[in-house]
């Protein structure tokens, strides 16, 4: 079952294996994902507002969120809508938190309606370095041990997933997509998936 808690400066969408937490940081909303239940070996994942360009010619815009509205809808999916402005960029984002039979999925769709020319859109996160990571185009699969857990970070084409060592035992993960030629807007879709392995259930399906 998905629930929600709201307090001063904080909104949390809660599932048995992960919490999506939005926190007000003075001038913007930041978010983080904190695993619980039997998936506690997956460390905290938190958003950062700066991505790393894969080369010196690519300019990146990272979302800034100034307003937030969250709810649990009639289908028991947790939803959050955010928007914000940074310079000439106007960002909007929708987050969904859904329990499925074999996984919990946090899906995100971000759009920027006022891009500067030749600017790509990126969403970046930091987390503790996993014991194993496999990258393939639009997907990064991470594993941790004790107990066995699996987390997938993936993006819809044409976006790609990239990872970079970030120091102090952490890794930076980012989804990046480029604008269509002559377009004044851009859209990025990506998701986090907490996977229930056959030998290790990460939440109680009867809850």
Among 83-92, 97-106, 131-140, whose mean pLDDT is lowest? 131-140
CA 46, CA 204: separation in Å to the nearest integer? 25
More confident residue, 94 or 130: 94
DSSP SS3 for 32: strand
Report the percentage of the chain scoring pLDDT > 70.
85
Q: Above 70 in pLDDT, residue 82? A: yes
CA 149, CA 187: separation in Å to the nearest integer? 30
Mind spelling out the 3-state secondary structure of 44-84?
CEEEECCCCCCCCCCEEECCCCCEEEEEECCCCCEEEEEEE
CA 111, CA 145: separation in Å to the nearest integer? 35
Q: Above 90 in pLDDT, residue 1? A: no
Residues whose CB is less than 8 angstroms from the CB of residue 49 and which lie 6 or more positions away in sequence, other chains included: 28, 30, 62, 63, 64, 124
pLDDT reported for residue 50: 77
pLDDT tens profile 166-198: 888 898 999 999 887 777 789 999 999 988 666
CA 7, CA 70: separation in Å to the nearest integer? 12
Beta strand 59-61 with 119-128 is: parallel
Q: What is the mean pLDDT of residues 134-163?
A: 79
CA 99, CA 23: separation in Å to the nearest integer? 23
Nearest to 42 by CA among 207, 204, 206, 202: 202
pLDDT reported for residue 42: 80
pLDDT reported for residue 4: 97
Length of the chain: 207
User: Mean pLDDT for the chain?
Assistant: 85
> Kind and range of the H or E element at 142?
strand 139-144
Q: Above 70 in pLDDT, residue 11? A: yes
pLDDT reported for residue 206: 47
Confidence of residue 122 (pLDDT cuts 50, 70, 90): very high
CA 48, CA 21: separation in Å to the nearest integer? 14
Among 112-116, 133-137, 146-150, whose mean pLDDT is lowest? 146-150
What are the angstrom distances between the C-alpha of 86 and each of 6, 24, 50, 61, 83?
A: 26, 16, 13, 9, 10
More confident residue, 153 or 97: 97
pLDDT reported for residue 201: 57
């Amino acid at each position: 079952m998905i629930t929600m808690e709201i307090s001063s400066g904080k909104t949390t969408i809660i599932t048995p294996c992960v919490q999506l937490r939005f926190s007000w940081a003075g001038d913007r909303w930041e978010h983080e994902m904190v695993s619980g239940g039997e998936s506690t070996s997956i460390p905290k994942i938190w958003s950062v507002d700066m991505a790393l360009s894969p080369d010196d010619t690519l300019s990146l815009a990272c979302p800034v969120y100034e307003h937030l509205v969250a709810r649990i809808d009639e289908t028991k999916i947790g939803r959050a809508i955010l928007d914000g402005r940074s310079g000439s960029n106007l960002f909007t984002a929708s987050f969904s938190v859904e329990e499925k039979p074999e996984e919990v999925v946090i899906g995100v769709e971000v759009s920027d309606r006022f891009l500067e020319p030749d600017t790509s859109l990126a969403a970046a996160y930091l987390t503790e370095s996993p014991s194993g990571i496999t990258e393939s185009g639009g997907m990064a699969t991470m594993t941790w041990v004790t107990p066995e857990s699996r987390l997938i970070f993936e993006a819809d084409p044409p976006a790609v997933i990239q990872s970079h060592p970030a120091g102090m035992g952490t890794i930076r993960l980012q989804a990046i997509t480029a604008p269509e030629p002559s377009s004044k807007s851009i859209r990025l879709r990506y998701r986090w998936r907490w996977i229930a392995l056959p030998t290790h259930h990460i939440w109680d399906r009867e809850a």
